Amino acid sequence: MTFSIRRFRAMVKKEWKDSIRNPQILLNAGMPILLAVLFNQKEDEPSDLTFLSIPILVAISITGAFVQANMIAEEKEKNTLRSLMLSPASKLEVLAGKSATTTLFALLVIAVCLAISGVPDVNIVYLIILSILLLLIFMALGTVIGLIARTASESSIVGLPLLLLFIFGPIFVPNLDLPALMKIIDVLPSHQFMLAITALIQDGGLSQIGGNLLNLVLWTIVSLALCFLVYGKKRFDK
């Protein structure tokens, strides 16, 4: 396996120039910011600490999964992936370039969201570790969606169940009386992330968030493995 930094940088440069002109991607990146503004209106409910983690969760998950999926699927839709695959660039270089661009987008969106909602008063090191793991998970899932979907709009449709379950599940289901669904929601990394942030806000330490952290690490391993499995399957046309 070869990895050329020159080709990787060329990909990042191109992705960035392309993405900031792509309305679909801008919409995906704008959604968390909009939600942060909306949730910010709920400040009169400080008893519900989970709300403090929502802007970060939404920023990471929507940007990570949807921007990534959109970028990959569009290359297939427009037949540009074929040109890349016919150049000396490897699939790893192409994917790394996209992931780096998605990360850049995510960082920007997180920064804007935090500027709106305020930085939760927690141990910054834990917050960063949790956020990195969550971003890896959602980018891996976004990559899988992007590889499965044939067009950019299909990637939004394929990603919709993920959006509803992973992102809005932990936000809304706890307030509904649905124990069966809640069991599923409970093992999702997004929910574990929210629980961990809530524990951190209440001055919890590693012993309080250890379980959540383990869950996120497991999810990271599984989703990255899934991603490489799907990714490895396509070298040739059938």
Q: Where on the chain is the footprint of another protein (CB under 8 A)? A: 2, 6-7, 9-11, 13-14, 17-18, 21-22, 78-80, 82-90, 236-238
Cβ proximity to another protein, 85 vs 132, nearer residue: 85
Nearest distance in Å: CB 77, another protein: 9
Cβ proximity to another protein, 57 vs 152, nearer residue: 152
Q: Are 122 and 52 in contact (CB under 8 A)?
A: no
Nearest distance in Å: CB 175, another protein: 41
SS3 at position 205: coil
Cβ proximity to another protein, 42 vs 234, nearer residue: 234
User: How far apart are the C-alpha atoms of 174 and 154, rounded to whole Å?
Assistant: 30
Cβ proximity to another protein, 81 vs 127, nearer residue: 81
Cβ proximity to another protein, 17 vs 42, nearer residue: 17
Cβ proximity to another protein, 35 vs 94, nearer residue: 94
Q: Which among 128, 140, 167, 165 has a CA at the least distance from the CA of 221?
A: 140
User: How far apart are the C-alpha atoms of 117 and 43, rounded to whole Å?
Assistant: 9
Nearest distance in Å: CB 34, another protein: 23
User: How far apart are the C-alpha atoms of 33 and 109, rounded to whole Å?
Assistant: 7
User: Which residue carries 């992330």 as its tokens?
Assistant: 193
**CA-CA distances (angstroms) from residue 217 to 70, 213, 214, 228?**
25, 6, 5, 17
The upper half-sphere exposure of residue 153, i.e. CA atoms within 13 Å in the direction of its Cβ, equals 0
Nearest distance in Å: CB 92, another protein: 11
Q: Which among 143, 151, 136 has a CA at the least distance from the CA of 230?
A: 143
Nearest distance in Å: CB 93, another protein: 8
Nearest distance in Å: CB 110, another protein: 25
